[in-house]
Amino acid sequence: MTAVDDARALLASLTDAPPAGVWSAPGRANLIGEHTDYNEGFVLPFAIAQRTAAAVALRDDDLIRVRSTFSSTGVDVSLADLDARIAAGGLDWAGYPLGVAWALRAEAPDATPRGLDIAVASEVPVGAGLSSSAAIEGAVASALNDLWDAGRDKVALARVGRIAENDAVGAPTGIMDQMASMLGVADAATFLDCRTLATRPVALGFAEAGLQILVIDTLVEHAHSSGGYRERRASCEKGAAAFDVAALRDLGVDDLPRAAEILDDVTFRRVRHIVTENQRVLDTVAALDADGPRAIGDLLTASHVSMRDDFEISVPELDLAVETALSSGALGARMTGGGFGGAAIALLDSELVPAATEAVLAAFAAAGFRRPNIFTVTPSEGARRDVGGRPTGPGSVSGASPRLGRRVVGGGPGRRGGFRLGLHLLRRGGSPFRRVPPSTRRRSAAAPSARGPADAPRAGPGGPRSSVRPELRPAPRRRAVPARRPRARPG
């Protein structure tokens, strides 16, 4: 049974009315670009095959009833009471679908809200850092968009999901998850500029290269509405304020020596993570375009080291997952998502998957950690209408067509003076939002370079040709996560 089947069955148990349709949206894995979204930077997530489905029937009153297969909590609320119920909070999981209804009504004043029965089922693991919440938001936003005649495109629906998450549920997240879930394309990652919301699908070619992404869900629980996530946001805002810029996206690696001078140690390291992570996203896109997926492993691992040592959002279980995957032959590995728990991803040859899985299970058992949940994920299609009416796959919700190689929304990087790292790429004749045709790629099985593509920007405190501080940069071919280093500032 798929989530679509489960949602239909649940709806049938709730009402005799025929379903008006079934809509679904996927979870996501973030390939690279962590905590950069709310700093208006770059991210590179991909939608996964596991989906959440919403089967919906129209009602002839103004009641919205939400039910799910994964919670005994169901909520009934009239459209007249919706604002008050959202303001009162305490809606549990129903805050996501009802938050979407609330946000869409506000964002689309021309829509015609009406009563609905909404049955939700999900295949996306909850709490694994794979955005089960964005999947609920995407499925419900797509359904309401059609049934309320809201006529919003996929980017606008991603915004609605984020408003629901931020203002109805109270989690201060960025927009990466909703954009990845709405705009996903099979075999591709979504390269997103979180300032302009410009996107470009970037071909991943994992299957063609004989590679897979292994997810190691540590089952360590995290929550984005509290604690560390908020603190990290506050540190980033403090760093941006010290430089008098709108967001950390406006800083580049050549600003880090100055950052070391004017910021306290903790804020400096938070800033350094964001600045170097933005650079790693650009380097990863350039490496994928030029050389394919075997070229990105060391960038993934460098991202993990930066999250572990500078942003301090990893946990021992995530570090062990990364270290064990690398020592089992993974090309690169990193924690994915908001951190403080959740999952790690590892990029590795398909034939290594069974042995790497065994090695991680054994390492967790030896460390006395809970047995992790380990599975592979496949870059897949974003939100769509699965049953009933006009299909709403890529290209039909919005009329925009997120096919490979086509820029679908907004402008490129560069508003408010532009991100200098992006501008370096532009000056070198290639926008990071312009895709290199696969035929011009150099397909190479050579060892991946930790330095990224030859034409990537190179200024920084770690040396004239380094985009990542040398002590944070994993040595090529070592396939082990670099040990923790003393927190020396660049000099």
> Is residue 34 a contact residue for ligand GLA (CB under 6 A)?
yes
Asked whether position 473 contacts ligand GLA by CB under 6 A, the answer is no
Helix, strand, coil tally for the chain in percent (to 5): 40, 15, 40
Which residue among 174, 297, 382, 448 contacts ligand GLA (CB under 6 A)?
174
Count other C-beta atoms under 10 Å from residue 361's C-beta. 15
Burial zone of 295 (CB within 10 Å; 0-12 exposed, 13-18 middle, 19+ buried) = buried
**Residue 173 is a binding residue for ligand GLA (CB under 6 A):** yes
**By CB under 6 A, is residue 314 in contact with ligand GLA?**
no
The pair of structure tokens assigned to 151 is 């006529």
Selected binder of ligand GLA within 22, 23, 25, 38 (CB under 6 A): 38
176 near ligand GLA (CB under 6 A): yes
Token duo for residue 309: 């040592």
277 forms part of the interface with ligand GLA (CB under 6 A):
no
Nearer to ligand GLA, 78 or 225 (CB): 225
Of the pair 30, 235, the CB lying nearest ligand GLA is at 30
Q: Say whether residue 337 binds ligand GLA (CB under 6 A).
A: yes
Nearer to ligand GLA, 180 or 363 (CB): 180
Which range in 35-43, 395-403, 437-445, 459-467 contacts ligand GLA by CB under 6 A? 35-43
Taking the least distance from each CB to ligand GLA, the nearer of 128 and 397 is 128
- Which two three-digit tokens encode residue 115? 């009563």
Shortest distance (Å) from residue 328 CB to ligand GLA:
25
Among the listed residues 338, 379, 382, 394, the single contact to ligand GLA using CB under 6 A: 338
Measured from the CB atom, is 128 or 456 closer to ligand GLA?
A: 128
Query: Quick one: which of 37, 40, 146, 309 contacts ligand GLA (CB under 6 A)?
Result: 37
Considering the rule CB under 6 A, would residue 308 count as an interface residue with ligand GLA? no
Instruction: Give the pairing of strands 343-349 and 211-217.
Output: antiparallel
Report in angstroms how near the CB of residue 387 gets to ligand GLA at its nearest.
28
177 is catalytic: yes
Q: Which is nearer to ligand GLA, 173 or 392 (CB)?
A: 173
DSSP-derived secondary structure for 193-230 = ETTT--EEEEE--TTTTTEEEEEEE------TTSTHHH
| Stretch of residues binding ligand GLA (CB under 6 A), selected from 27-35, 51-59, 212-220, 247-255 | 27-35
Binding residue count for ligand GLA, defined by CB under 6 A: 12
Q: How far is the CB of 205 from ligand GLA (least distance, A)?
A: 24
Strand partners, 121: 53
Per the listing, tokens 């897949």 go with: 380
- Min CB(196)–ligand GLA separation in Å: 17
Write down the H helix ranges in 129-264.
Answer: 132-147, 154-163, 176-183, 228-243, 256-262
From 301, 307, 321, select the one nearest 369 (Cα to Cα). 321
Measured CA distances, 132 to 29, 139, 419 (Å): 11, 11, 31
Q: Name every residue whose Cβ is closer than 8 Å to that of residue 427 and which is 6 or more positions away in sequence.
A: none
Give whichever of 175 and 290 is closer to ligand GLA, judged by the CB atom: 175
If binding is defined by CB under 6 A, does position 177 make contact with ligand GLA?
yes
Give the list of residues 6+ apart from residue 404 with CB closer than 8 angstroms, or none.
185, 188, 201, 203, 435
By the rule CB under 6 A, 123 interacts with ligand GLA: no
- x/- binding map, residues 212-231, to ligand GLA, per CB under 6 A? ------------x-------
* DSSP conformational letter for 2: -
CB of 175 to ligand GLA, least distance (A): 7
Closest CA to 341 of 488, 164, 86, 127: 127
230 or 258, CB closer to ligand GLA?
230
DSSP structural state of residue 490? P
Q: Which of 37, 177, 289, 298 is catalytic?
A: 177
What residues have CB less than 8 Å from 251, skipping those under 6 apart? 239, 240, 243, 245, 259, 271, 274, 275
Rounded distance between C-alpha atoms, residue 209 and residue 444, angstroms: 10
Q: How far is the CB of 159 from ligand GLA (least distance, A)?
A: 13
297 lies in the site for ligand GLA, by CB under 6 A? no
Q: What secondary structure letter does DSSP report for 357? A: H
Within 8 A by CB and 6+ apart from 330, the residues are 214, 297, 346, 347, 348, 352, 356, 479
As annotated, the active-site residues are 177
Interacting residues toward ligand GLA by CB under 6 A: 30, 34-35, 37-38, 173-174, 176-177, 224, 337-338
